Structure 1
Amino acid sequence: MSNRVIQQFELDVFEISEVEDSHSSTVYKCTLSNGENVYLKIPFTKLKYQRELEAYQILKGNVSIPELINYWSGDDECPGAYLLSELKGKPLTSVAKPTTSFQVGVLHAKMHSIQPPSEQVLSGIKNEFPNWSQFIDQQFYSFAEDAKEVMAVQLYQKAIEKFERMKQQLPSSDGPSFVHMDFRPANIIVDHDQVSGVIDFESVRFGSTEVDFTKLYRDFLSYDSSLYRAFQRGYNSIRPLIDLELVLPFYRFTDAFNSIGWCKRRGKEEHALFLEENLMRLKKWLL
């Protein structure tokens, strides 16, 4: 498939390698004969292709993202493909400085400041905000079908009961905003303490901002209180940050539960470590 896409974009490729940690697309880093690095991205489904295409159109000029150099709508065998510029740097890590975390907060808030466009009809990105509680229910119970096959019956039942209790305590939703749905360090590129931008938009929605802090907190903000405080300052410099202490417990819990279902759906042997991590997280919440 990569060869077909390379031919489609008429690229003169010197070297190509598959990018790790890409779970909803196949991504290749290509070094061209002139020394330039570009990325080929082939989403798993047509819907993910359409979401990402619309995201690039919406975010361009508003949020730092790769340049969409070219795209192909695909055919019967390929759902579509993108040719993207390289953001200089490497994925964010927990050893970043507070000044970098401040920039992450600014970036996140700028993304959340974007509302559904009134002049553009979207076929990929849905506005879930008007029925946000129903959307969260659908996600949870969809993954529950998979999670129950790898969880003890008692643990599974406790999770269902806790979900129903906790969701009743959530504050009013904050939005409608452009939410990434996978805003985690692997998708935030940093170059020498400077945030270059954000990548990967195949899961985006318009919805409530409250869902979008969970993975960043899990994999970055929770490691150091100074990073957490700097992020909050950066975010608040653009738009008011919701009270994360009110929403994070619910979304951290549902993230662990949904991740268990995701591992079963994608292959529990292949994702055994991530499965075990989330089972441990869930047990801490429930037992």
Structure 2
Amino acid sequence: MLDKIISQFGVQLLSVNEVDDSFSSAVYKCTLLNGETVFIKIPYTQLKFQRELEAYEILKGQVAIPEMLDYWSGDEECPGAFLLSQLKGNVLTAQASPQVAFQVGVIHAKMHSVQPPAGKVLTGLKNEFSDWPIFIEKQFNSFAEDVREVLDKDLYNKAISKFLKMKKELPSPDGPSFIHMDFRPANIIVDHDKVSGILDFESVRFGSTEIDFTKLYRDFLSLDSAKYKAYKDGYNSVRTLIDLEAVLPFYRFTDAFNSIGWCKRRGMKANAAFYEENLEILKKLL
């Protein structure tokens, strides 16, 4: 399949190496004959391909993202593929400065400022905002079927009860906004003290911003109060940040729960460490 995709794009490559830490698609780092680096990305499904295609079209010129050099809509064997430029730098780490955290807030707010385009028909990237509580419940219930098979019965029942109680206490949704749904350090590229851009748009929606802070908080913001403040300042310089303390407990809980279901779907043995990490979070929050 990869050879077919390379042929479709008409590129001549010196080397091709699979990117190991890509969980929702197959990604290959490629070196062209002229020494330039590009990426070939193959989403798992046609829906994910369509979402990402529409995201690149909508975000272009509004938010820093890789340039989509080419794409192929696929065939009966391949769901589609992208040829993408390289963003300069490396993924965001816990060692990043408050200055970088401020810029992460800025780019996150810029993305959340993008609203559904008037008059444009979208087939992959859905607007879930008008039925946001229903969307959240459907997502939770979908993973609950998998979680039930691996979680202790008492713990599972406590989780279901907590979800129903906390959902009633959520404030009014904030949006409709373009939400990433996987906004975490691995999808944020930083070059020294400058944020180069954002990656990975397979799970994007239009919806409420409240869901989009959880993973960044878990993996970056919660580790340093100065960086958390800098992030908030950066976000507020573009648009008003919602009261995160009012929504983070609920979304941290649902993220841990849903992640356990994700591990069951993708294989418990292969994702044992991620499962244990989220089980520990779930127990603490319960």
Matched residue, 2:134: 134
Aligned to 1:158: 158
| SS in structure 2 of the partner of residue 202 of structure 1 | coil
The residue that corresponds to 1:251 in the other structure is: 251
Describe the SS at the equivalent of 1:42. strand
- Residue in structure 1 matched with residue 67 of structure 2 by the alignment: 67
1:233 is displaced (CA, Å) by: 0.2
1:228-254 C-alpha deviation (Å, 9 max, x unpaired): 000000000000000000000000000
1:3 to partner: Cα distance = 1.2
Q: CA deviation at 1:4?
A: 1.1
Alignment of 1:14-93 (within 5 A): 14-93=14-93
Q: Within 2, Cα distance between the matches of 1:112 and 1:94?
A: 23
Compute the displacement of 1:11 (Å). 1.0
Cα deviations by residue, 1:162-205 (Å, 9 ceiling, x for unpaired): 00000111000000000000000000000012100000000000
Amino acid at match of 2:41: K
Task: Tell me the CA shift for residue 79 of structure 1.
Answer: 0.5
Amino acid at match of 1:13: L
Unaligned runs of 5+ in 1: none
Local SS of the residue matching 1:149: helix
Aligned to 2:226, the other structure's residue is in SS state: helix
Q: Secondary structure at the match of 1:189?
A: strand
TM-score, normalized by length of structure 1? 0.99
The letter of the residue matching 1:7 is: S
What amino acid maps onto 1:101 in structure 2?
Answer: A
1:105-163 per-residue CA deviation (whole Å, 9 max, x = no partner) reads 00000000001011210000000000000000000010000011110000000000000
* Mapped partners of 2:67, 2:285: distance in 1: 41
Question: Take 1:237 and 1:162, find their aligned partners in 2: how far apart are those partners?
Answer: 35
Quote the offset at 1:60 in angstroms: 0.1
Structure 2 CA distance for aligned equivalents of residues 24 and 285 of structure 1: 27
Please give the alpha-carbon distance, in whole angstroms, between the structure 1 residues aligned to 2:189 and 2:173: 29
In the alignment, what sits opposite 2:275?
A: 275
CA RMSD of aligned residues (A): 0.5
Q: Distance in 2 between matches of 1:198 and 1:51?
A: 15
Alpha-carbon deviations, 1:32-60, whole Å to 9, x = none? 11100000000000000000000000000
Shift of 1:69: 0.3
Equivalent position SS for 2:66 = coil
Residue 176 of structure 2 aligns to which amino acid in structure 1?
P
TM-superposed deviation, 1:22: 1.2
Paired letter, 2:170: L
One-letter amino acid of the counterpart of residue 55, structure 1: A
Corresponding pairs, count: 286
Please give the secondary structure, in 2, of the residue aligned with 1:17: strand
Partner of 2:240: helix, strand, or coil? coil
In 1: Cα distance, 2:23 partner to 2:123 partner: 22
Matched, 1:170 2:175: no
Name the residue aligned to 1:204.
Answer: 204
Partner letter of residue 141 of structure 1?
Answer: N
Secondary structure of 1:40's counterpart equals strand
Structure 1 runs (4+) greater than 6 angstroms displaced? none
Equivalent position amino acid for 1:129 in 2: F
What TM-score, normalized to structure 2? 0.99
User: 1:21 Cα deviation (Å)?
Assistant: 1.8
